[in-house]
Amino acid sequence: MGRLFAIAGIALLASMYIVPYMFMRDTKSWLLYAFWLLVSIVMLAISWRETDSWLKG
């Protein structure tokens, strides 16, 4: 689980750099704002799930 989380996290972080500069550089809408927000919400969700096992101690 831990390794999978790390890979997903690194991929999400990398996407925050790569996707905007490849596809959204000149956007005039809220697309870029929404993209970064979505990535962060996905990160929050997988972090939440990953810490589930900690709650059991």
Phi, psi at residue 26, to the nearest 5°?
A: -110, 25
> Is residue 41 within the footprint of another protein (CB under 8 A)?
yes
In the bound complex, what is the minimum distance in angstroms from residue 45's beta carbon to another protein?
9
Alpha carbon of 15 to those of 37, 52, 53, 54: distances in Å? Answer: 12, 25, 27, 28
> Is residue 4 within the footprint of another protein (CB under 8 A)?
no
Binding site for another protein (CB under 8 A): 2, 5-6, 9-10, 12-13, 16-17, 20-21, 24-33, 36-37, 39-41, 43-44, 47-48, 50-52, 54-55, 57
